[in-house]
């Protein structure tokens, strides 16, 4: 009895929840080719604490069969982004019916909706992890069996609504920054708390073979030795260099984006050894704006890092235009294929300055920054994946046309060095700076003014404010965004998205783009 009690209390079933992809018909291989680093990382920490860990990634593996994998007494963990919120709650309820002891949730959408999740009347979710802290995960599994859940007091874990909504709004980011500074002063801040070398084999061999097979099917033509490509995600550092001023791009829904952390040399060394031993030769480093983190690149160089099939990382036009020499540094880590993923967002100066709120150092032209970045990529031999949005506040027919012109210009400037131009409508999402519109009428007026419009208090209340506590932003709010804050319709934005997707499908050697939009569910 004691033993089975022990086993029951020490098993975590961790699920990356995905609704949208699993509702699509037809071939979805192109979405199912990156192994989920978030659940792998959490699973690694829990495994290090002596627990049995079972992972299921619905994005790669399809819907989970809870009856098959959940045992009475289990703890079930749900990784929730916008495309899995509602489904995640259903899974939580089912898991409880199957005898799961505790349901925990983490990842960006859970963080931004912490109170809304904990206030659900039937309490399907017992605890929400409100940061990327791995100490919080470790502490939780150490205490969970011995302390009453409501008495747990672990920074980064919420078990009751706290009346505070995390977001990337300026005031919230500033408050978080001050809190970290205080912790640092008190000697309670661990800057390395987000770095753990993942135990890659926690995902079984079947999972890895599927990921690699899917990747080779879709992107094999980009590689030298297609049959040997083994792709994976890694975390070299955390946070985005754009956030120095506490400003974040208006649509950004990445939790912890302003919490910049650099790794130790020991961490990177172990990371390289573990990935190399596993045969990983194509790496997607998920750090935001990693391009500008030159010290990380230099440490990797000094450790002899070499990714024979290539390296993908995020960059900003800001950094690439000012520091083209970093391209050489990053290229030196690869067998030749460096793919930089950049949010260019628009081809219109006003959109970049007031709609998206892109950073600029000297008040110079942000369009020129985008163009300069394209030119530097073209002359370096690296490859570019960039994105555009149709529908930031103030968007007009003319600004959309300028974005399309920018797209055509970049396409011809880059030729086969353009891997993909990914476009989307503007998704108003909880947690982004623009989600301020749900609780601040003045802010709604400012957005309307950018579009040369006015918004009455009653319109704001009906079309935005009443949705402030929804788990995901409903479609009618997305339409309201276009009506109230742009001079285009959402259909027009979708037409531009389709235009670019068609153009890219005939672009020589292009990678397949996302054929569906960021549809919450």
Q: Tell me which residues touch ligand B12 (CB under 6 A).
A: 14, 16, 18, 34, 36-39, 41-42, 59, 77-79, 81-84, 104-109, 112, 129, 132, 134, 137, 194, 233, 235, 253-254, 286, 288, 429, 431, 514, 518
Segment contacting ligand SF4 (CB under 6 A): 112-120, 227-235, 252-260, 501-509?
A: 252-260
Q: How many residues bind ligand SF4 (CB under 6 A)?
A: 12
Does the protein bind ligand SF4 through residue 286 (CB under 6 A)? Answer: no
CB of 358: closest distance to ligand SF4 in angstroms? 8
Dihedral sign computed on CA atoms, order 444, 450, 456, 461: negative
Segment contacting ligand SF4 (CB under 6 A): 113-121, 157-165, 245-253, 274-282?
A: 245-253
Partner whose binding site includes residue 137, from ligand SF4, ligand B12, none (CB under 5 to 8 Å by kind): ligand B12
Q: What is the strand order of the sheet 11-16 is part of?
A: 52-57, 11-16, 75-79, 102-106, 127-129, 157-158
What is the C-alpha to C-alpha distance for residues 270 and 343, in angstroms, rounded to an integer? 31
Q: Are 57 and 36 in contact (CB under 8 A)?
A: yes
Partner whose binding site includes residue 235, from ligand SF4, ligand B12, none (CB under 5 to 8 Å by kind): ligand B12
Chain position carrying tokens 């319109």? 459
Name the CA dihedral angle for 447, 422, 289, 301, rounded to a multiple of 10 degrees: -170
**Footprint (CB under 6 A) of ligand SF4, residues 139-158:** none
Toward ligand B12, which CB reaches closer, 40 or 317?
Answer: 40
If one counts every other C-beta atom within 10 angstroms of the C-beta of residue 120, the result is 13
b/e 210-240 (16+ beta carbons within 10 angstroms → b)? bbbebbbebbeebbeeeeebbbbbbbbbbbb
Toward ligand SF4, which CB reaches closer, 244 or 381?
Answer: 244
Does the protein bind ligand SF4 through residue 380 (CB under 6 A)? Answer: no
Toward ligand B12, which CB reaches closer, 33 or 317?
Answer: 33
Q: What is the DSSP string of 500-515?
A: HHHHHHTSTTPPP---
Q: Are 293 and 263 in contact (CB under 8 A)?
A: no
What is the C-alpha to C-alpha distance for residues 116 and 286, in angstroms, rounded to an integer? 28
Is beta strand 75-79 parallel, antiparallel or unpaired with respect to 338-345? unpaired
CB of 235: closest distance to ligand SF4 in angstroms? 14
Q: Give the single-character DSSP code of 307.
A: B
Kindly give, in sequence order, each residue whose CB lies less than 8 Å from that of residue 193, ignoring residues fewer than 6 positions away.
133, 134, 135
What does the angle CA 314 – CA 318 – CA 322 come to, to the nearest 5 degrees? 110
CB of 345: closest distance to ligand SF4 in angstroms? 8
Segment contacting ligand SF4 (CB under 6 A): 44-52, 123-131, 187-195, 243-251?
A: 243-251
Does the protein bind ligand SF4 through residue 316 (CB under 6 A)? Answer: yes
Partner whose binding site includes residue 289, from ligand B12, ligand SF4, none (CB under 5 to 8 Å by kind): ligand SF4
Does the protein bind ligand SF4 through residue 249 (CB under 6 A)? Answer: yes
* Total number of residues shown for the chain: 521
Does the protein bind ligand SF4 through residue 447 (CB under 6 A)? Answer: no
**Footprint (CB under 6 A) of ligand SF4, residues 32-71:** none
Toward ligand SF4, which CB reaches closer, 343 or 431?
Answer: 343
Of 113, 242, 383, 385, the one binding ligand SF4 by CB under 6 A? 242
Residue 309 has which token pair?
A: 């099939």
Does the protein bind ligand SF4 through residue 288 (CB under 6 A)? Answer: yes
Binding string, residues 329-368; x marks residues near ligand SF4 by CB under 6 A: --------------x-------------------------
**Footprint (CB under 6 A) of ligand SF4, residues 383-412:** none
What is the C-alpha to C-alpha distance for residues 289 and 241, in angstroms, rounded to an integer? 6
What is the C-alpha to C-alpha distance for residues 85 and 315, in angstroms, rounded to an integer? 29
Toward ligand SF4, which CB reaches closer, 101 or 242?
Answer: 242
**Contact footprint for ligand SF4 (CB under 6 A):** 240, 242-243, 248-249, 252, 254, 257, 288-289, 316, 343
């Amino acid at each position: 009895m004691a033993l089975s009690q022990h086993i029951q209390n020490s098993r975590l079933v961790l699920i990356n929840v995905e609704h949208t992809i699993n509702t699509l018909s037809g071939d979805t291989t192109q979405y199912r080719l990156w192994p989920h680093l978030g659940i792998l990382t959490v699973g690694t920490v829990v495994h290090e604490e002596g627990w049995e860990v079972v992972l299921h990634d619905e994005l790669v593996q399809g819907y989970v069969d809870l009856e098959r994998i959940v045992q009475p007494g289990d703890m079930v963990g749900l990784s929730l982004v916008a495309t899995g919120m509602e489904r995640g709650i259903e899974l939580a309820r089912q898991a409880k019916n199957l005898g799961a002891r505790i349901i925990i949730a983490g990842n960006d959408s859970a963080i931004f909706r912490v109170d809304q999740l904990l206030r659900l009347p039937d309490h399907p979710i017992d605890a929400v992890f409100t940061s990327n802290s791995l100490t919080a995960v470790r502490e939780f599994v150490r205490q969970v069996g011995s302390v009453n859940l409501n008495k747990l007091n672990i920074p980064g874990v919420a078990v009751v609504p706290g009346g505070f909504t995390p977001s990337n709004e300026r005031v919230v980011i500033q408050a978080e920054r001050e809190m970290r500074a205080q912790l640092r002063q008190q000697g309670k801040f661990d800057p390395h708390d987000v770095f753990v070398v993942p135990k890659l084999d926690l995902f079984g061999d079947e999972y890895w073979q599927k990921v690699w097979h899917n990747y080779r099917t879709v992107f094999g033509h980009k590689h030298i030795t297609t049959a040997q490509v083994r792709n994976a995600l890694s975390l070299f550092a955390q946070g985005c260099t754009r956030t120095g001023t506490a400003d974040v791009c208006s649509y950004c829904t990445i939790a912890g984006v302003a919490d910049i952390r650099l790794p130790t040399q020991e961490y990177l060394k172990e990371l390289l050894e573990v990935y190399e031993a596993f045969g990983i030769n194509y790496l997607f480093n998920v750090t935001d704006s990693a391009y500008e983190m030159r010290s990380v690149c230099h440490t990797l160089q000094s450790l002899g890092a070499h990714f024979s099939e290539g390296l993908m990382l995020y960059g900003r036009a800001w950094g690439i235009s000012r520091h083209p020499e970093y391209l050489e540094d990053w290229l030196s880590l690869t067998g030749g294929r460096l793919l930089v993923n950049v949010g260019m967002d628009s081809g219109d100066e006003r959109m970049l300055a007031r709609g998206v709120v892109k950073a600029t150092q000297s008040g110079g032209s942000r369009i020129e920054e985008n163009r300069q970045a394209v030119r530097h990529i073209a002359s370096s031999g690296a490859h570019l994946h960039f994105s555009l949005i149709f529908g930031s506040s103030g968007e007009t027919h003319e600004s959309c046309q300028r974005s399309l012109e920018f797209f055509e210009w970049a396409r011809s400037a880059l030729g086969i060095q353009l891997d993909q131009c990914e476009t989307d409508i503007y998704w108003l999402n909880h947690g982004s700076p623009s989600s301020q519109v749900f609780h601040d009428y003045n802010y709604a007026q400012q957005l309307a003014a950018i579009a040369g419009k006015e918004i009455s208090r009653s319109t704001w209340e009906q079309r935005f404010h009443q949705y402030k506590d929804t788990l995901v932003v409903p479609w009618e709010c997305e339409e309201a965004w276009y009506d109230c804050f742009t001079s285009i319709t959402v259909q027009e934005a979708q037409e531009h998205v389709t235009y670019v997707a068609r153009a890219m499908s005939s672009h020589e050697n292009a990678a397949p783009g996302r054929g569906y939009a960021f549809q919450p569910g």
